[in-house]
Amino acid sequence: SVFYKKIMFFAKAVILTSLFMVIAVLLVLGLAYDGFEDDAKEAVLSALSIMIAAIPIALPLVLQVNMALGAAYLAKVHNAIVTSIPALQDIASMSILCSDKTGTLTTAKMSIIPDSVFVADDFERCDVLLFASLCSNPDKKDDPIDRAVLQAFEADEAGKEKLKDMEYKQESVIGFNPEVKRTVGFVSDKNGKTWTIAKGLPAKVLDTTAG
């Protein structure tokens, strides 16, 4: 994480500073006080003791313990469960947080406004809701898009009347694929005709070269 990188940079700076201090101690003890001539071993041990004491070897462990205590505090006091300590470190290093509002700052409950539905020539708004419902999976109650489509269709009497007249029957549905960005449904009618209905990103619905 960014926070961990900053801590490691600080640790490296401390180590480099201690290295310069060791060199200075050796020069002072060895040259100014004739430490090399009297007892070279003692001068070297004194310098090494300063360097070992200056290395923050336990710093990462102390930080992890503090982060764990902070995560426990967030869970108890603010009801915020931290599943990743590095993520908590990244958030602590942020100055500006840009967040997607759908499902993050809201409840992710979508709804369809029938009056705002765009239709092409020879089609009606109820046709869009009808075909969209036939391309939705009624078993996926947790899917916000399918749930919104099915709820809008249930309130559309004209669409339900067409469904009854044409005896549309959903044969199978290919779920949403993040690669092709669409859902495909196969529907049969009372005349034995099979319809292929696609719902998803308009560019991917119109262009099927990717699959």
pLDDT tens digits along 137-192 = 888 767 888 888 888 888 888 888 888 888 888 888 888 877 788 888 899 988 88
Three-state DSSP class for residue 183: strand
Specify the pLDDT at position 108. 63
Specify the pLDDT at position 210. 61
Please tell me which residue, 140 or 125, carries the higher pLDDT value: 125
Listing DSSP states for 71-115 in one string gives HHHHHHHS----S-HHHHHHHHT-S------TTTTS-------GG
Q: Which of 34, 38, 100, 207 is catalytic?
A: 100
pLDDT at 109 > cutoff 80: no
Specify the pLDDT at position 34. 66
Specify the pLDDT at position 105. 58
Q: Which residues contact residue 78 at a Cβ distance below 8 angstroms, ignoring those fewer than 6 apart?
A: none
pLDDT at 123 > cutoff 80: yes
Hey, what are 23's tokens? 């060199």
Burial of 134 (0-12, 13-18, 19+ CB in 10 A): buried
Average pLDDT, the chain: 81
pLDDT at 99 > cutoff 60: yes
Single-letter code of the amino acid located at 35: G
Tell me, yes or no, if 156 is annotated catalytic: no
Q: In whole angstroms, what is the distance from residue 144 CA to residue 102 CA?
A: 11
Categorize the per-residue pLDDT at 6 as very low, low, confident or very high, splitting at 50, 70 and 90: confident
Residue count of the chain, please give it: 211
Specify the pLDDT at position 5. 79
pLDDT tens digits along 32-68 = 766 566 667 777 777 778 778 777 777 778 888 888 8
Mean pLDDT, residues 88-107 taken together: 70
Specify the pLDDT at position 211. 57
Hey, what are 166's tokens? 């044409």
Q: In whole angstroms, what is the distance from residue 155 CA to residue 147 CA?
A: 13
Q: In whole angstroms, what is the distance from residue 157 CA to residue 163 CA?
A: 10
CA-to-CA dists, residue 125 to 112, 141, 150, angstroms: 12, 24, 14
